[in-house]
A and B are shown apart, each in its own frame.
Chain A
Amino acid sequence: MENARTHFLLCAGAGCVASGSLEVGAAMQDPLRKHGLTGEVRIIETGCLGPCAVGPVAVVYPDGVFYQNLKPEDAAVIVEEHFLKGRVVERLVHRAPATAQGVARLQDISFFREQEKIVLRNCGIIDPLRIDEYIARDGYQALAKVLTGMTPEQVIDVVEKSGLRGRGGAGFPTGRKWRVTRQSKGDVKYVICNGDEGDPGAFMDRSVLEGDPHSIIEAMAIAAYAIGSSQGYVYVRAEYPLAVERLGKALDQARQYGLIGKNIMGTGFDFDLEIRMGSGAFVCGEETALMTSIEGNRGEPRPRPPFPAQKGLWGKPSLLNNVETYANIPAIIMKGAEWYASFGTEKSKGTKVFALAGTVNNTGLVEVPIGSSLGRIIYEVGGGIPGGKKFKAAQMGGPSGGCIPKEHLNVPVDYESLTDLGAIMGSGGLIVMDEDTCMVDMARYFLDFIQDESCGKCPPCRVGTKRMLEIVNRICEGNGQEGDVEKLIDLGNKIKDTALCGLGQTGPNPVLSTIRHFRDEYNAHIREKHCPAGVCESLVRAPCQNACPAGVDVPGYVALISEGRYAEALKLHRNRNPFASVCARVCFHPCESKCRRSTVDESVSIRGLKRFMVEQEVTVQLPEIRESERNARHKVAIIGAGPAGLSCAYFLARLGYRPKVFEAESQPGGMLRWGIPAYRLPRDVITREVRMIEHLGVDIETGMKLGRDFTLKSLKADGYKAVFVGVGTPRGLDLGIPGEKVEGVSDAMRFLHDHNLNGSVSVGKEVVVIGGGNAAVDAARTALRLGAGAVTILYRRTRAEMPAYEEEIEEAEREGLRIRTLVAPVEILSSNGHVVGVKCCRMKLGDYDRSGRRRPERCEDSDFVVNADQVIAAIGQALDGKEICDGISLKFAGNVLHMNPVTGQTSVEWVFAGGDAATGPATVTSAIGGGEKAAVGIHEFLEGEGEAFWRKEQTIDTFFDPEADPVQYPRAKAQMIPVAKRRSNFLEVETPWRQNVAQREAKRCLRCDYRDER
């Protein structure tokens, strides 16, 4: 039977046969013959492949392309296009939603395709317990070649020319090490293999010892011959019992075959090898400590020089390399130095094995040419980050290394580039960390590690790292002080300069590198007492609450819902966030993405519960207010009646203030009213909660625009003691391409504003929306409802990178929205002053940019035209700085107001800011949180008191049994009204649950807020 190049796995399950799969197979025979592909393509009828509903289906193997709804007439097309020309027939492709549907032969899976296996050449292929299999794959041929045809100098020349550098971490040229050891004077010399792979997260040495032990034995024999030694030691850590066992068996076999021992292969060369097992001391991975340990002592390092090459084990010249370094040697000897040097970069040759671990889809060992970009390793080989989370940083080099943030995904992974970024190649541990990792906690982890493993011999390492750990500990516990970060940097640099061995000298690296790349996170811990990732226990009551920008007591109100105490639940919610009903509709629930229930099955549907909760409110209840005549006398102005301004007013009012709100539009609500469409947020919901705030004594004056009707200066003159600026970012950005100043082109902000506030906006027949954010989707769905014939979104990156929320995109697609990705507009085409189309070009993804996403690049000669009679740009929003300042020198941070994130205070002491105007376009909830912070900031500014009564944690007497197993109900789904009933109107899309559903869902909460009071 020929070796078929392609397999066409045609489903012959009952369903597919019924829909005609066998006919498809039959129809394929003729075209295959016609093109002479009969031998190359093999048709295999398989059992049911699964998606019977779209049958007949088939999989092309190894390409992994899944075809659906096949008809006999498609057969010829597939043969001609796919088999002959290698083009996938797109219209027939079945796209399974994110299931493991793609199939491929090993070498065609990107995980393997992107790799170059030299060190791992035999791992997973041969049986490590059978020496014959190693020999069959040319094992021990390199040793034979060396012993019979090369002088020791020639061997060293080859190793040196290959450019191989030590893979244990420091990257010292291997050939030079060999030469120095050879030149050292001494009757007895040793070769040693460092298999004490202590860096947590690195396991390539383990894998080689377990999967290909003979390659190490052979390489050590070659090294022994080259330096003039006859005895070797392999030091393997105690945590690797299987590696010890397999290496031991391999040694026995090699000895039996006479491949080690006396007079190897009749050449007169003697060499034997012994295994030494570690006993759980990290420092023994350091070369001098390792040798002390083999000698039978406490594994303490000793100063260098003398280097092991001069005075090593038992005072004799010794050659020490690590497992991975040795594993390269036989291949280099057999295939030559030039071959090896053809991989890698100018200064770093060959390949490097990385142990991919942490939050990455394909964890495991990967071997790539040195110099491959980090992004490529993580995304192409590693398959990216699971669970839709964001990549945050990669930790490389373990406790001696550092982290590389998303801004540097393009870095070529080689010794020098990594060092420049404050990380190191190390032994190749590459731990991928997503947004749920706290970098301060990570620094603490490594300091703890170093403290634990410090042998205690030198004070900088023993005492210095302890001091650093104390500081980091207090930062994590919420007791950090200004200046702590500087102290850490100072201490770290001192330890680097003065510690005795490599462990101590590199110990501060993880701290210094996290400070370098994530200083903001340290500041959040120290100043805001907030751990953004939700990790540091003392700062995090429950991960959901920690993730909520408004700090709502999520587990509290969820527990109250589960007990049917809806009014109390709502009151608890409004204690931190007045807009419960609004948020129940529009919040993108950062709480749910941190919910620990997702480690069991799926997160609790917190927003769904909130939606149910607010439906139970009959008359609006006012929150707790502390009347204060004193506070009421301070005049406070709030500019902008959006979520930020109204929240600020709400909380000030609860402290007894009587703030005055100025709103430019004719109705209060800001973006809630004119930016968010009614099908997501009914207007009466906004009105209701705004009215509640007015009931607290907040006066809202509409039609008052900053810069037109009043200025900051005039407010000051009118006696206002403090002003909050919450004007948002209402101006949509222009496309910046030729031809856009014609009729029919507008931006999403203006479009939504005109519809929602003025009640009229003209809509075309063919509408094109440009951009991939929430504003784009809102505009597109609004246009659909207003009767547009077709609405298409053009986005320059891929679907996965669209900033709009996935659930919104999905609903929009159900309603008929078309999304074209990897397309960018180049020019607006018009006729008689009115738009008629958009000239576009295709984009492809290039290198990684500083946002950690692959940069879209224009494909040459790919221009095409999309017809349109209306174009809506939704590519960003901005703030009009001029109208705010009016002679007052407010500092800006980029396009937004600069402010203190804890208090909202701007560079002018009586002016505070929050919401989009201070953060750039963000979510409703973060605007609410910003308003609350500024309210407290204003109170502190006016009264010198920074405390707010609502921030005190409340104990809620709900029942919870910590011993009980979590309830087993699956996550309840949101209910939507059918597309047909909503596509052409502005009815609210989502409907609330019934009580039984809600209470069951609420019981799924794991109550992370629960503290054992033992």
Chain B
Amino acid sequence: MEKKIKSVKDLNALRDQAKSDIELRTGEKDMRIVVHMGTCGIAAGARDILTQVIEELRLAGVESVTVRLSGCMGLCDQEPMFTLTDASGTEFCYARLDRSKVHEIVTRHMLENQPLVEYMVSSQSSKEA
């Protein structure tokens, strides 16, 4: 209840605070994963992906990664997917995830900094690939 917003000033203060929190999270060392969890994503298995990401990171002993959930990206077809923002702020959108892909992305991209091109959202999507 401390955070009760009693005036516009309060709102602005909270906004600035929240902004800097987010910036801190995407700072030099940190990476961020946003798992897209709308109805489509969940139907396609996004919940398992979220759990697995957290588990993989824990096993690998990585602590500098923020994992968040978010709504639909609009690309239902390629669900489940997550967006990985790396230390430089570049966004990589991984799609049609499954257990083995998640494992590979965590070990190769997040630990060894080798983006896995073949798992990213493709511009020419191929059906039922």
Which A residues have a C-beta under 8 Å from some C-beta of B? 1-4, 7, 9, 42, 44-47, 49-50, 59, 61, 64, 98-106, 108-111, 115, 120, 122-129, 132-133, 135-136, 138-141, 144, 147-148, 203, 206-207, 210-212, 240, 242-243, 256-259, 265-266, 361-367, 383, 386-387
Contacts and interface: CB of A to CB of B under 8 A. Distances in A.
Given A42-B88, A59-B117, 15 more contacts: A1-B88, A3-B88, A64-B123, A100-B118, A101-B124, A123-B70, A124-B72, A124-B73, A135-B11, A135-B15, A144-B11, A207-B74, A242-B39, A266-B7, A362-B125
A257 B127 contact: no
A265 B6 contact: yes
A976 B11 CA distance: 73
Given A99-B129, A362-B77, A127 B11 contact: no
B129 A111 contact: no
Nearest to B112: A47
Contacts of A243: 39
B34 A364 contact: no
A240 B58 CA distance: 33
Closest 6 CB pairs of A and B: A211-B71, A136-B18, A100-B122, A124-B73, A386-B127, A365-B74
B77 A363 contact: yes
Interface residues of B, number: 58
Nearest to B1: A256
Contact of B68 (A105, A127, A383): A127
B60 interface: no
Contact of A105 (B4, B70, B91, B116): B91
A138 B1 CA distance: 21
Contacts of B110: none
Interface string B30-60: 0000101011101000000000000000000
B111 interface: no
B11 A141 contact: yes
B72 A123 contact: yes
14 contacts: A9-B115, A42-B88, A47-B114, A64-B123, A99-B129, A111-B74, A207-B71, A240-B39, A361-B126, A362-B78, A362-B125, A363-B77, A367-B74, A383-B124
Interface in B69-115: 69-78, 83, 87-93, 108, 113-115
Contact of A211 (B18, B70, B83): B70
B34 A132 contact: no
Contact of A99 (B15, B78, B114, B126): B126
A132 B117 contact: no
Nearest to A99: B126
A105 B90 contact: yes
**Highest count of chain A CB atoms <10 Å: which of B19, B39, B68, B91:** B39
A9 to B, nearest CB: 6
Given A49-B118, A132-B14, A240-B39, A4 B88 contact: yes
B62 interface: no
Contacts of A203: 39
A212 B28 CA distance: 28
Interface string B9-30: 0110011011101100000100
Nearest to A12: B114
A144 B72 contact: no
A364 B36 CA distance: 13
B1 A124 contact: no
B19 A136 contact: yes
Nearest to A212: B71
Contact of B70 (A4, A104, A111, A128): A128
Given A133-B22, A258-B6, A4 B123 contact: no
A74 to B, nearest CB: 19
A602 to B, nearest CB: 11
B36 to A, nearest CB: 5
A104 B89 contact: no
Contacts of B65: none
Given A99-B129, A106-B121, A123-B74, A210 B39 contact: yes
Nearest to B92: A105
Contacts of A364: 40, 72-77
Contacts of B73: 123-124, 364
Contacts of B8: 144, 147-148, 265
A256 B3 CA distance: 8
**Highest count of chain B CB atoms <10 Å: which of A100, A259, A362:** A100
B124 A102 contact: yes
B74 A124 contact: yes
A561 to B, nearest CB: 28
Contacts of A387: 127
Contacts of A7: 90, 115
A770 B40 CA distance: 47
A211 B68 CA distance: 13
A849 B109 CA distance: 45
Contacts of B38: 123-124, 206-207, 210-211, 242
B39 A126 contact: no
B124 A61 contact: no
A779 B100 CA distance: 50
A366 B22 contact: no
A125 B5 CA distance: 24
Contact of A110 (B7, B77, B123): B123
Nearest to A264: B5
A366 B74 contact: yes
A106 B129 contact: no
A140 B14 CA distance: 11
Contacts of B7: 265-266
A315 B4 CA distance: 35
A4 B72 CA distance: 27
A120 B70 CA distance: 12
A384 to B, nearest CB: 9
A388 to B, nearest CB: 10
B90 A361 contact: no
Contacts of A106: 83, 91, 93, 121
Nearest to A209: B71
A59 to B, nearest CB: 5
Given A109-B123, A129-B69, A265-B5, A363 B39 contact: no
Given A132-B18, A136-B22, A103 B122 contact: yes
Nearest to A109: B123
B17 to A, nearest CB: 8
A129 B116 CA distance: 30
Nearest to A360: B77
B120 A103 contact: yes
A103 B122 CA distance: 5
Nearest to A359: B127
**Highest count of chain B CB atoms <10 Å: which of A108, A126, A367:** A126
Nearest to B93: A106
A132 B123 contact: no
**Highest count of chain A CB atoms <10 Å: which of B10, B75, B93, B116:** B75
Nearest to B4: A258
Contacts of B125: 100, 361-362, 383
Contacts of A103: 117, 120, 122-123
A46 B76 contact: no
Contacts of B76: 363-365
A45 B123 CA distance: 22
A243 B40 CA distance: 12
B80 to A, nearest CB: 13
Contact of B5 (A45, A111, A258): A258
B54 to A, nearest CB: 15
A122 B126 CA distance: 27
B19 A104 contact: no
A825 to B, nearest CB: 30
Contact of A135 (B1, B18, B108, B118): B18
B129 A100 contact: yes
Contacts of A141: 11, 15
B70 A102 contact: no
A7 B4 CA distance: 45
Nearest to B18: A136
B70 A61 contact: no
Contacts of B78: 362
